[in-house]
Amino acid sequence: MADPKTLHDLPTPALVADHSALQRNLTTMAEALPGDRLRPHVKAHKCTALAARQAAAGHTNFTCATVREVEGMAAAGLGNDLLLANEVLDTRRLGALDARVTVAVDSTETIRAAASGGVREVVIDVNVGLPRCGCSPEAAGGLADEARRAGLLVRGVMGYEGHLMMVDDRAKQKAATDESMALLLQAHGDVGGELVSAGGTGTYDLNSAATEIQAGSYVLMDTAYAKLGLPFELALSVLSTVISVSDKWAVGDGGLKALGMDHGDPTVEGANVWFCSDEHLTFSRSPSPAIGDQIRIQPAHVDPTMAKHERLYLLDGEDVVDVMEIDLRGW
Amino acid sequence: MADPKTLHDLPTPALVADHSALQRNLTTMAEALPGDRLRPHVKAHKCTALAARQAAAGHTNFTCATVREVEGMAAAGLGNDLLLANEVLDTRRLGALDARVTVAVDSTETIRAAASGGVREVVIDVNVGLPRCGCSPEAAGGLADEARRAGLLVRGVMGYEGHLMMVDDRAKQKAATDESMALLLQAHGDVGGELVSAGGTGTYDLNSAATEIQAGSYVLMDTAYAKLGLPFELALSVLSTVISVSDKWAVGDGGLKALGMDHGDPTVEGANVWFCSDEHLTFSRSPSPAIGDQIRIQPAHVDPTMAKHERLYLLDGEDVVDVMEIDLRGW
């Protein structure tokens, strides 16, 4: 295929983003949380080219969720300060990377794994209310001591208030975030270190306890985050071609293999989405679309949507102005 | 990484299948629908190595859902008879393939696209009750004439009774399948040709009208299909490592980026699945697992799960006996 010049050249389904909206999202965040106040989470886009844009906006420390993401960021020259904000027992691939790598630990086992894999720096992951990883706040100090005895540098604490990202009353969200962060600060008192790493797009402006915020979704956004009234624009969609039209419904190419479905059905502006199949979206709209029309499908969850695509096309209106490989997929 | 010898060598999350169960599924289906009575649908696994196993079991005609799947099957030497059972307007990549390619059409526009793209053979796609692609049964004959006037060979009809795959009362499922297929046979009377292509894993033994069945899920299965009492075994799971344990729950690596979530949460035998995050599964089990334990996560929907992984590891007990690239992903 020749290089696509406009969206009409793209084989569909194709993942696209509005370039100017994306740039405005980068700017808005960089103004709110400049430089190291933001540690962008690459799990939201899995794309080193987008991470490079975030670095150009001033954020050169990054958060990762998988070993593959850490490897890819290091290989792309973005390894200034990478935090693997996740527990990992298989550390074989982490120790030899040409990057500063810090790993989250929440147990004796993960401390041992970090030390034996050649990882040099860790943060103590503290559970602040989301039933997932992290030790109890009371256990954090003891684990920090244990990590230091194992020869690891303890940089501080992290604690993700993921259960609070989608609270739609901001006053309640602020109060709950403060409660969560009180637990993290209590742990930090016992652990020490310069880092109190937490937060996400939903609490980026409410979390005043963290020294750095791990937001990622803000760059591209999705329909779930768009409901919260944050100052970030929905830049992402899946470009789809209408391939079949009946008197009651129409069908676009691009279905649940092209969209993160865990937050529910995607949205097509001005249309009723009936359901997604593997490679189809059935919808109705008045007036009915014509076969060959292109539509934009807005995903409900950005992270898994990105992980399903090989590349992201950046658009200025109908023009394709950049193509980014989504190169941090897999494990 | 050295070649993995046992499942303890695999970086997790890893997609695995029980080799003997997979082989039994292949054999069971080949006995029920030998040779060309089955046209396996590669969308279920997106893996030419698995398609080669199906060919070795006697099925050398295949069904595809995307242009990429058709291209990949042709490149793998499995292009004996490929049916793209989907409408496509962008036919640029189909005409030049070294394979016999037949494309589904349901409109003047898709007929024109097939002819202009160098496609030589089509089937008329008939809507048999699922609100998706396909013309009305009454329109099929006219579209066949139109296709022939455009220089295309019309091989017959297809009509997917996808809305009936998960009906859990077999007598009701049989009656509804017969009704659906009556529409397809009516269209076939007007269209002619040797093919009446329909069906899936859920109706493979009930659909007596179709000359060939387009089943795919039977090879690996998922928890949704497993509920139907079919003679196919659940061979597929995502291997996960327990990375964190608290007093109330445990966390495995592997979450909604590793699992098709559109049919709901996955299953862990003997455990309660609480929820999936991007890279985590939170669950509880009694007795509690230990950090480092491996668990098997059974996906609710096989097709999108396969599409999220780069490779499939075949296991004989704990031994890795084969590694298959999932090479038909993307578009």
Task: Give tens-digit pLDDT for A107-140.
Answer: 999 999 999 999 999 999 999 999 999 999 999 9
Pick among B161, B257, B273, B328 to test the A interface (most A CBs inside 10 A): B257
How far apart, in Å, do the first and last CA atoms of chain B sit? 29
Question: Chain B partners of A65 at a C-beta cutoff of 8 Å?
Answer: 278-279
| Residue B3 confidence (pLDDT) | 86
Contact state of A132 with B282 under an 8 Å Cβ cutoff: yes
Kindly report the nearest CA distance between residue A250 and chain B, in angstroms.
Answer: 7
Contact state of B248 with A11 under an 8 Å Cβ cutoff: no
Question: Chain B partners of A107 at a C-beta cutoff of 8 Å?
Answer: 244-245, 291
Contact state of A134 with B244 under an 8 Å Cβ cutoff: yes
Q: pLDDT digit string (tens) for B27-49?
A: 999 999 999 999 999 999 999 99
Query: DSSP H helical segments within A150-250, as ranges?
Result: 170-191, 223-226
Which residue of chain A comes nearest to B303, CA vs CA?
Answer: A278
Say which residue the tokens 């865990």 belong to: A262
CA A308/CA A306 separation, integer angstroms: 5
What is the reported pTM?
Answer: 0.97
Does the structure show a pLDDT above 90 at B173? yes
Does the structure show a pLDDT above 80 at B17? yes
Say which residue the tokens 């803000």 belong to: A218
Q: pLDDT digit string (tens) for B196-229?
A: 999 999 999 999 999 999 999 999 999 999 999 9
Contact state of B86 with A243 under an 8 Å Cβ cutoff: yes
| Residue B201 confidence (pLDDT) | 97
| Residue A83 confidence (pLDDT) | 98
Does the structure show a pLDDT above 70 at B308? yes
CA B287/CA B274 separation, integer angstroms: 16
CATH code, residues B20-218: 3.20.20.10
Of A89, A280, A292, the CB nearest to B241: A89
Question: Chain A partners of B256 at a C-beta cutoff of 8 Å?
Answer: 260, 262, 304
Q: pLDDT digit string (tens) for A249-287?
A: 999 999 999 999 999 999 999 999 999 999 999 999 999
| Residue B1 confidence (pLDDT) | 56
Average pLDDT of the residues of chain A: 97
Q: Are A223 and A260 in contact (CB under 8 A)?
A: no
Contact state of B107 with A282 under an 8 Å Cβ cutoff: no
Q: pLDDT digit string (tens) for A148-178?
A: 999 999 999 999 999 999 998 999 999 999 9
| Residue A3 confidence (pLDDT) | 86
Q: pLDDT digit string (tens) for B236-274?
A: 999 999 999 999 999 999 999 999 999 999 999 999 999
CA A256/CA A304 separation, integer angstroms: 11
Q: pLDDT digit string (tens) for B270-293?
A: 999 999 999 999 999 999 999 999
Q: pLDDT digit string (tens) for A280-307?
A: 999 999 999 999 999 999 999 999 999 9
Which residues are registered as beta bridge partners of A308?
none
Confidence band, pLDDT 50/70/90 cuts, at residue A323: very high
Question: Chain B partners of A12 at a C-beta cutoff of 8 Å?
Answer: 90, 331
> What number is the average pLDDT over the span B316-324?
98
| pLDDT over 70 percentage in chain A | 99
Domain A20-220 class? alpha beta
Strand ranges, E, within chain A: 14-18, 61-64, 81-84, 101-105, 121-125, 153-159, 195-198, 212-213, 236-245, 250-253, 272-276, 280-284, 294-297, 311-316, 319-325
> What number is the average pLDDT over the span B122-149?
98
Contact state of A331 with B131 under an 8 Å Cβ cutoff: no
Contact state of A12 with B90 under an 8 Å Cβ cutoff: yes
As a residue count, chain B comes to 331
Question: Chain B partners of A6 at a C-beta cutoff of 8 Å?
Answer: none
Kind of pairing, strands A236-245 and A121-125?
unpaired
Any idea where the domains of chain B sit in the sequence?
7-15+232-325, 20-218
Confidence band, pLDDT 50/70/90 cuts, at residue A1: low
Q: How many CB contacts within 8 angstroms connect chain A with chain B? A: 147
| pLDDT over 90 percentage in chain A | 98
In this predicted complex, what is the ipTM?
Answer: 0.97
CA A217/CA A232 separation, integer angstroms: 9
Contact state of A90 with B279 under an 8 Å Cβ cutoff: no
Which residue of chain A comes nearest to B136, CA vs CA?
Answer: A246
* Ramachandran quadrant class, B156 (left: phi over 0; alpha: psi -120 to 50; beta: rest): left
CA B305/CA B256 separation, integer angstroms: 9
| Residue A126 confidence (pLDDT) | 98
Does the structure show a pLDDT above 90 at A312? yes
| Residue B234 confidence (pLDDT) | 98
| Residue A30 confidence (pLDDT) | 98
Three-class DSSP labels, chain B:
CCCCCEHHHCCCCEEEEEHHHHHHHHHHHHHHCCHHHECCEHHHCCCHHHHHHHHHCCCCEEEECCHHHHHHHHHCCCCCEEEECCCCCCCCCCCCCCCCEEEEECCHHHHHHHHHCCCCEEEEEECCCCCCCCECHHHHHHHHHHHHHCCCEEEEEEECCHHHCCCCCHHHHHHHHHHHHHHHHHHHHHHCCCEEEECCHHHCCCCCCCCEECCCHHHCCCHHHHCCCCCCCCCEEEEEEEEEECCCCEEEECCCCCCCCCCCCCECCCEEEEEECCCEEEEEECCCCCCCCEEEEECCCHHHHHCCCCEEEEEECCEEEEEEECCCCCC
Contact state of A308 with B309 under an 8 Å Cβ cutoff: no
CATH architecture of B7-15+232-325: Beta Barrel (2.40)
Q: Are B10 and B320 in contact (CB under 8 A)?
A: yes
| Residue A186 confidence (pLDDT) | 98
